[in-house]
Amino acid sequence: IYILAIESSCDDTAAAVLKNDQVLSNIVAQQAVHEQYGGVVPELASRAHQQNIVPVVDVALKKAGVKKEELSAIAFTQGPGLMGSLLVGGSFSKSMAMALKIPLIAVNHMHAHILAHFIEEGTPKPTFPFLALTISGGHTQIVQVNSFFDLKILGETTDDAVGEAFDKSAKTLGFPYPGGPLIDKYAQNGNPKAFPFTKPKVEGLNFSFSGLKTQILYFIQKNQAINPNFVEENKEDICASIQYTIIQILLDKLKLAVAETGIKQIAIGGGVSANSGIRNALLQAEKNWGWTAFIPKFEYTTDNAAMIGIVGYYNFLESHFSNSSVVSKARIEF
């Protein structure tokens, strides 16, 4: 089975070709245009998708060595995401599937961030049921995964996503967008206990990050007023402290989820799972608490089409197809 997968939910135009559960090619065209605005500009994103999609798909097929006539189906991101961006990938996929007379498979982007763990890499995969912690630019969720298609959200953020907590804190520190990876980089040489921040009190398995964001903003403003070089002089300790607090918030909720469900397999996904601090914390949790942690390969953490392809593959096996009237959705449930 050859699946062409297309992802265009936000600001990356991505295409991948899978042979069954193996990735033959995985191409991502990033959009540099947003950096100067400090965030993704939806209008510019959809225009860039329109420019990128044909060459990106072309390269993905060439690199895979697969002709379009050999494709078994086309999988694309139906949502959630930016409407203008989703529509570009959606209409492209529909027309291509129609022209080739092959099935179309609509994929939920958050489902894909989770099933990315089932891309065949020769590494151990989680077994059902497991807990997925999906941490990305737009989401923060703990999901109980009972099978490929039976997923239940146990908790999620009530305001900002964890990626936003990273990026907005980074913006406060004057870093370019997206600043999450820079916080990670500076944190590696800093003292995580240098500046203690308070964790929000949120009931159950839900999260909140907007209070932390404000707390960090006031902390920086106050200290910059006293010493205009405060950030410059303490960059590493500030980043380490921010990252430490965010990781503690995530770990607290994971511990609670493990206690409530008795499930000790934890699979992280989404862009923030590239963070070295969260990766180390999970390795520690394996040692200290007997958890089994699953950490995806870097290229399958941030947005990519291979993860859309693996969901496409499992849908194909079940003959779960969409018809050409399927609509893109900015918000979507499992």
Which spans of this chain sit near Fe ion (rule: CB under 5 A)?
Answer: 136, 303
Which one, 30 or 50, has the nearer CB to ligand ATP?
A: 30
Q: Is 109 annotated as a binding residue?
A: yes
Q: Decide: 78 and 7 in contact? Cβ < 8 Å.
A: no
> Containing H/E element for 314?
helix 306-317
Q: Is 11 annotated as a binding residue?
A: no
**CA–CA separation, 185 vs 106, rounded Å?**
36
Q: Tokens 């990273």 identify what position?
A: 166
Q: Residue 181 interacts with ligand ATP (CB under 6 A)?
A: yes
Q: Decide: 35 and 176 in contact? Cβ < 8 Å.
A: yes
Stretch in the footprint of ligand ATP (CB under 6 A) among 121-129, 163-171, 225-233, 285-293: 163-171
**Pair of tokens at residue 57:** 């798909």
Stretch in the footprint of ligand ATP (CB under 6 A) among 134-142, 288-296, 305-313, 315-323: 134-142
Q: Is 137 annotated as a binding residue?
A: yes
Which one, 29 or 66, has the nearer CB to Fe ion?
A: 29
Q: How far is the CB of 272 from ligand ATP (least distance, A)?
A: 4
Closest CA to 149 of 275, 317, 329: 317
Q: Residue 180 interacts with ligand ATP (CB under 6 A)?
A: yes
Candidate residues 2, 166, 175, 314; the one interacting with ligand ATP per rule CB under 6 A: 166
**CA–CA separation, 133 vs 263, rounded Å?**
13
Candidate residues 84, 103, 126, 138; the one interacting with ligand ATP per rule CB under 6 A: 138
Q: What is the DSSP code (8-state) at residue 151? A: E
Which one, 184 or 303, has the nearer CB to Fe ion?
A: 303
Which one, 167 or 303, has the nearer CB to Fe ion?
A: 303
Question: Which strands form 2-7's sheet, in the order they lie side by side?
Answer: 22-30, 12-19, 2-7, 73-79, 104-108
* Distance set, CA 150 to CA 58, 133, 155, 272, 280 (Å): 34, 16, 16, 24, 29
* Distance set, CA 280 to CA 159, 242, 287 (Å): 26, 16, 11
Q: Is 167 annotated as a binding residue?
A: yes
Q: How far is the CB of 239 from ligand ATP (least distance, A)?
A: 10
User: What pairing do the DSSP bridges indicate for beta strands 73-79 and 22-30?
Assistant: unpaired
Q: Is 34 annotated as a binding residue?
A: no
Q: How far is the CB of 44 from ligand ATP (least distance, A)?
A: 15
- When CB distances are held under 5 to 8 angstroms depending on the partner's kind, the choice from Fe ion, ligand ATP, none that residue 108 binds is none
Stretch in the footprint of ligand ATP (CB under 6 A) among 47-55, 63-71, 190-198, 272-280: 272-280
Instruction: Give the up-direction half-sphere exposure of residue 63: CA atoms within 13 A in the CB hemisphere.
Output: 17
Backbone angles phi, psi at 38, to 5 degrees: 70, 20
Stretch in the footprint of ligand ATP (CB under 6 A) among 15-23, 179-187, 226-234, 309-317: 179-187
Which one, 21 or 303, has the nearer CB to ligand ATP?
A: 303
**CA–CA separation, 165 vs 184, rounded Å?**
13
Which one, 66 or 82, has the nearer CB to ligand ATP?
A: 82
Binding residues: 109, 113, 134-138, 167, 180, 184, 275, 303
Q: Which residues of the chain form contacts with ligand ATP (CB under 6 A)? A: 9-10, 81, 109, 113, 136-139, 163, 166-167, 178, 180-181, 184, 270-272, 274-275, 302-303
